[in-house]
Amino acid sequence: MIPILLQLLLFLITPSNGSPAEVRLLNDLMSGYVREERPILDSSKPVKVMLGVFLQQIINLSEKEEQLEVNAWLKFSWRDENLRWEPTAYENVTDLRHPPDALWTPDILLYNSVDSEFDSSYKVNLVNYHTGYINWMPPGIFKVSCKLDIYWFPFDEQICYFKFGSWTYTRDKIELEKGDFDFSEFIPNGEWIIIGNRTNITVKQYECCPEQYEDITFTLHLRRRTLYYSFNLIAPVLLTMILVILGFTVSPETCEKVGLQISVSLAICIFLTIMSELTPQTSEAVPLLGVFFHTCNFISVLATSFTVYVQSFHFRNQHVHERMGFWMRFILLEWSPWLLRMKMPDRDNNIQTLKDSWKERNRRESMARTAFEYADGPVTQIHSMGIMLKENFEELIYQVKQEKKADDKGVERLRVLQKIYDHVKMIREHDDDNDEDSRVALEWRFAAIVVDRLCLLAFSILIVIVSIVIAWRAPYLFA
Phi and psi angles of residue 140, each rounded to the nearest 5 degrees, phi first: 180, 165
DSSP state letters, 388-422: HHHHHHHHHHHHHHH-S---HHHHHHHHHHHHHHH
The pLDDT score that the predictor gives to residue 351 is: 67
The 3-state secondary structure of 280-296 reads CCCCCCCCHHHHHHHHH
H or E element: which one contains 109?
Answer: strand 108-110
Phi and psi angles of residue 249, each rounded to the nearest 5 degrees, phi first: -95, -10
Rounded to 5 degrees, what angle do the CA atoms 467, 472, 475 make?
125
**Nearest-CA neighbor of 47 among 115, 111, 133?**
133
CB-CB contact of 56 with 186 (8 Å): yes
**Nearest-CA neighbor of 148 among 234, 61, 274?**
61
Cα separation, 305 vs 445, whole angstroms: 18
Q: Where are the domains of the chain?
A: 23-224, 227-323+368-372+389-478
What pLDDT digit, counting tens, does each position of 324-375 carry? 666 677 677 776 777 777 676 666 666 666 666 666 656 544 444 444 555 5
The pLDDT score that the predictor gives to residue 192 is: 93
The pLDDT score that the predictor gives to residue 176 is: 94
The pLDDT score that the predictor gives to residue 401 is: 54
The segments of the chain whose pLDDT lies below 70 read 1-18, 316-327, 330, 335, 342, 344-438, 441, 479
Pick the CATH number of 23-224 from 2.60.40.10, 3.40.470.10, 2.70.170.10, 3.20.20.70: 2.70.170.10
The pLDDT score that the predictor gives to residue 421 is: 61
The pLDDT score that the predictor gives to residue 110 is: 94
What pLDDT digit, counting tens, does each position of 246-255 carry? 888 888 777 7
Strands 47-62, 174-182: pairing kind: parallel
Task: Tell me the one-letter amino acid at 386.
Answer: G
The pLDDT score that the predictor gives to residue 374 is: 52
**Nearest-CA neighbor of 176 among 40, 46, 35, 36?**
46
Task: Compute the Cα dihedral for 37, 42, 45, 48 and give only its sign.
Answer: negative
Give the CA distances from residue 163 to residues 48, 57, 205, in Å, rounded to whole numbers and listed in that order. Answer: 18, 18, 15
